[in-house]
Amino acid sequence: MAGEFKRDMNYIPTRVTADGRDGYPVEAGRYRLVVARACPWANRAVIVRRLLGLEPVVSMGIAGPTHDERSWRFDLDPGGEDPVLGIERLQQAFLVRFPDYDRGITVPALVDIPSGQVVTNDFPQITLDFGQEWREHHRPGAPELYPPDLRSEIDEINEAVFHDINNGVYKAGMATDQQAYEHAYARLFDRLDRLSERLSKQRYLVGDTITEADVHLFPTLVRFDAVYHGHFKCNRHKLVELPVLRDYTRDLFQTPGFGDTIHFPQIKEHYYVVHRSINPSGIVPTGPDLSWLLEPHGRDRLGGRPFGEGTPPGPPPESERVPSPA
């Protein structure tokens, strides 16, 4: 369709695995997860790392909320340099491995610390591998986010959520044609309505515990009122006006490992400053009030066990704490 936003999904397919078949074996302390708090795709990896307790074995570098054509910058760190990798831009790690790399420099990315080379930026695979390949390093009580008996259902939900919601907000916001925008808008809210119906009967998307499906949906929902409703013209309703999805998002936000990864000032700065074709002034809005995320959610009535037979993760490391939305 003319004017439709098309996402480049051509990511580096290399994997970090227990058997090291791609040349990068699972090894505590060897890899650095580079993220940006602003990015919903990176947010997934941050959440899964928290839920599984991988903080002691996979360090995390946090890029600033804005970037230019040369990639994400470590401008939050002293001297504008990642203290572990010793680089100013994520692009440098890509070019060490691929000197002629000409695709997007994206987060999340796993970087091999000894060589300084990027290993992968394949965001869907990174979280699955954290769950499956890094098992020997999971914390006691870590949840099973991709249970074998539910994988086909999780995959089906994730596929629909990706196309219509995760990427759907971008298809609406980045469209350059009225028809393309309206098509994306209609699919987005149709899918949200379907999920609202589903979640009116069950606490989580698949089964009675948190799974990869919830990890995929949450980053888009939690950003909805702050950026997608206005900035991306996804304005049929705010999330706070949709009771089921509002309370579902509240529930997850208040679950350790979810809300404690969300940095709203950086999220808003990224979208409103970087997307100058949509917001030429670069002015970041003061609102909206997001304190509703801390109000009671009432989802307990639907049953469910957030971590199954497991337990919640402990508090995040001091260096990774984020401000409250209230």
pLDDT in tens, 79-119: 999 999 999 999 999 999 999 999 999 999 999 999 999 99
Residues 31-137: name the CATH superfamily: Glutaredoxin (3.40.30.10)
Tokens 């899964």 map to which residue? Answer: 48
Share of the chain above pLDDT 70, in %: 100
- For residue 280, the model assigns a pLDDT of 96
Could you tell me where in the chain the CATH 1.20.1050.10 domains are found? 150-320
Terminal Cα-to-Cα distance of the chain (whole angstroms): 41
* Beta strand spans in the chain (E): 31-36, 59-63, 67-68, 71-72, 109-112, 117-120
CATH of 150-320 among 3.30.420.40, 1.20.1050.10, 2.40.10.340, 2.60.120.460: 1.20.1050.10
In tens, the pLDDT along 127-180 reads 999 999 999 999 999 999 999 999 999 999 999 999 999 999 999 999 999 999
Pairing state between β 59-63 and 67-68: unpaired
User: What are the angstrom distances between the C-alpha of 267 and each of 26, 191, 270, 272?
Assistant: 31, 24, 5, 9
- Res 32 pLDDT > 90: yes
- The residue ranking higher by pLDDT, 70 or 269, is 269
- For residue 2, the model assigns a pLDDT of 82
- For residue 70, the model assigns a pLDDT of 79
Share of the chain above pLDDT 90, in %: 95
In tens, the pLDDT along 221-247 reads 999 999 999 999 999 999 999 999 999
- For residue 3, the model assigns a pLDDT of 86
Give me the long-range contacts of 149-154 (CB less than 8 A, separation at least 24): 150/206, 150/207, 150/211, 153/206, 154/205, 154/206, 154/211, 154/212, 154/213
Specify the amino acid at residue 310: G
DSSP 172: H
Residue burial 244-279, b: 16+ Cβ < 10 Å; e: rest = bbbbbbbbbbbbbbbbbbbbbebbbbbbbbbbeeeb
- State the catalytic residue, choosing from 39, 181, 204, 228: 39
Calculate the CA dihedral of residues 268, 270, 276, 281 and round it to 10 degrees. 50
User: What are the angstrom distances between the C-alpha of 76 and each of 26, 81, 325?
Assistant: 28, 8, 20
- For residue 69, the model assigns a pLDDT of 80
- Of 156, 145, 84, 143, which Cα lies nearest the Cα of 116? 84
Contact between 109 and 169 (Cβ < 8 Å): no
170 assigned to active site: yes
- Res 1 pLDDT > 80: no
* 11 vs 13: CA distance, rounded Å: 6
Q: State the burial class of residue 17 (Cβ atoms within 10 Å of its Cβ: 0-12, 13-18, 19+).
A: middle
Contact between 306 and 312 (Cβ < 8 Å): yes
Sequence-separated (6 or more) residues with CB below 8 Å from residue 201 = 302
Across the range 257-277, mean pLDDT stands at 97
181 assigned to active site: no
Looking at the whole model, is its pTM more than 0.95? yes
Across the range 254-264, mean pLDDT stands at 98
In tens, the pLDDT along 181-219 reads 999 999 999 999 999 999 999 999 999 999 999 999 999
Residue 16: both structure tokens together: 């970090």
- State the catalytic residue, choosing from 11, 101, 146, 170: 170
Contact between 220 and 167 (Cβ < 8 Å): no
Residue 192: both structure tokens together: 């949200």
User: What are the angstrom distances between the C-alpha of 226 and each of 39, 192, 230, 262, 323?
Assistant: 13, 17, 8, 12, 15
What is the pLDDT of the chain when averaged over all its residues?
A: 97
- For residue 38, the model assigns a pLDDT of 97
Could you tell me where in the chain the CATH 3.40.30.10 domains are found? 31-137
- For residue 113, the model assigns a pLDDT of 98
Contact between 2 and 177 (Cβ < 8 Å): yes
- For residue 214, the model assigns a pLDDT of 99
